[in-house]
């Protein structure tokens, strides 16, 4: 990998939805120390958390100037950094949730606690984004050999 940050062993894009453009850049580092070094050099990091984290989600919005002279947001939503030795469902879901919330804010989804027994359209939109991103990250990690293939579940009875 030419030009990759020190300690990075994989990088790929994960999309919120299969057929849509918004994505998150995923970076996997060999060690927590290399992940933290990259994080410290590329963004402001809480000094207390800096010594403890094994994954990090950073959300941003970028715009570009179009040929017509107007500004348009890019499909990039930021990045998630993972440490290869801490790739658990909990960590993947946790970092995905940060980005799904950023996705919801960027689209001005209205997520509220209601007494309704069913989900409203904004809640469904958020949940699909979270599920899609988590699935894309899991798939990307699996095809690169970081996660085992899913086991077949056999039902008896």
* Residue 132 CB neighbour total at 10 angstroms: 20
pLDDT in tens, 79-96: 999 999 999 999 999 999
- Write out the residue range of the structural domain in which residue 132 sits: 8-143
Q: Is residue 17 situated within a structural domain?
A: yes
Q: Is residue 94 situated within a structural domain?
A: yes
Q: Is residue 59 situated within a structural domain?
A: yes
Q: Which residue has the higher pLDDT, 31 or 39?
A: 31
How many CA atoms are closer than 13 Å to the CA of 87, on its beta-carbon side? 25
Q: Quote the number of domains for the chain.
A: 1
Percentage with pLDDT > 90 across the chain: 50
Q: Is residue 157 situated within a structural domain?
A: no
* Residue 100 CB neighbour total at 10 angstroms: 26
Q: Is residue 112 situated within a structural domain?
A: yes
Q: Is 154 helix (H, G, I), strand (E, B) or coil?
A: coil
Looking at residue 1, what is its pLDDT?
A: 44
Q: Is residue 156 situated within a structural domain?
A: no
The pTM (predicted TM-score) of the whole model is 0.84
Q: Is residue 1 situated within a structural domain?
A: no
pLDDT in tens, 38-68: 988 877 666 666 667 889 998 888 889 999 9
Q: Is residue 25 situated within a structural domain?
A: yes
Q: Is 124 helix (H, G, I), strand (E, B) or coil?
A: helix
Q: Is 84 helix (H, G, I), strand (E, B) or coil?
A: helix
């Amino acid at each position: 990998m030419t030009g990759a940050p020190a300690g990075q062993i994989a990088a790929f894009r994960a999309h919120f939805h299969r057929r849509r453009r918004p994505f998150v850049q995923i970076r996997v580092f060999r060690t927590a120390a290399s992940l933290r070094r990259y994080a410290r050099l590329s963004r402001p990091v809480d000094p207390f958390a800096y010594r403890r984290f094994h994954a990090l989600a950073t959300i941003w919005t970028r715009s570009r100037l179009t040929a017509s002279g107007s500004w348009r947001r890019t499909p990039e939503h930021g990045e998630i950094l993972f440490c290869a030795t801490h790739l658990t469902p909990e960590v993947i879901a946790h970092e995905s949730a940060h980005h799904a919330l950023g996705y919801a804010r960027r689209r001005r989804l209205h997520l509220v606690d209601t007494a309704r027994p069913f989900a409203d359209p904004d809640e469904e939109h958020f949940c699909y984004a979270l599920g899609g991103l988590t699935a894309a990250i899991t798939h990307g990690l699996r095809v690169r050999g970081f996660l085992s293939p899913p086991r077949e579940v056999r039902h008896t009875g």
